[in-house]
A and B are shown apart, each in its own frame.
Chain A
Amino acid sequence: MATGTIAIAAALVLALTACATAIAQGITASHAMDAIARQPEAAGGIRGALVISLALMEALTIYGMLVAFMLVGKI
Chain B
Amino acid sequence: MEHTNVLFSIGPLQVTSTVVSMWAIILVLALLSYLATRNLKEVPGPLQNLAEMAIEKLQSFFADTLGQKHMRKYFPIFATFFIFIVISNYSGLLPGVGHVKGMALPTASLSVTAGLGICAFFTTHVIGIRERGLKHYASSFAKPLYLCFLMLPLNIIEQFVRPMSLALRLYGNMYGEETVTEQLYEIFPIGAPLIMQVLSLLFCLLQAIVFTMLLSIYVSEAVEEEE
- Closest B residue to A68 using CB positions: B176
Q: Which residues of B contact A59 (CB under 8 A)?
A: 165, 168-169, 172
**With A and B bound together, what is the CA distance between A44 and B65 in angstroms?**
12
Q: Does B210 contact A (CB under 8 A)?
A: yes
In the complex, chain A residues whose CB is within 8 Å of the CB of B169: 55, 58-59, 62
Q: Take A62-B168, A63-B168, A66-B172 as given contacts and tell me if A51 and B214 are in contact as well, using a CB distance cutoff of 8 Å.
A: no
Contact across chains for A51 and B173 when beta carbons are under 8 A apart: no
B interface footprint on A21-64 (CB within 8 Å = 1, 0 otherwise): 00000000000000000000000100010011001001100110
Chain A interface bracket (under 10, 10 to 19, 20 to 34, 35 or more): 10 to 19
User: A15: CB under 8 A from chain B?
Assistant: no
Q: Is A6 an interface residue (CB 8 A)?
A: no
Known contacts A48-B64, A52-B213; decide if A66 and B206 are in contact (CB<8 Å). no
Task: Please measure, in the bound complex, the distance between the C-alpha atom of A22 and the C-alpha atom of B169, giving whole angstroms.
Answer: 17
State in angstroms the CA–CA spacing of A56 and B177 once bound together: 18
A-side contacts of B168, CB under 8 Å: 59, 62-63, 66
Known: A48-B64, A48-B213, A59-B165. A65 touches B206 (CB 8 A): no
Partner of B172, one of A48, A51, A52, A62: A62
Residues of B within 8 A of A65 (CB): 172, 176
Query: B210, A55: Cβ atoms under 8 Å?
Result: yes
Q: Identify B213's interface contact among A44, A51, A58, A69, CB under 8 A.
A: A51
Q: How far is the CB of B116 from chain A (nearest CB, A)?
A: 15
Give chain B's interface residues, CB within 8 Å of chain A.
64-65, 165, 168-169, 172-173, 175-176, 179, 206, 209-210, 213-214, 217
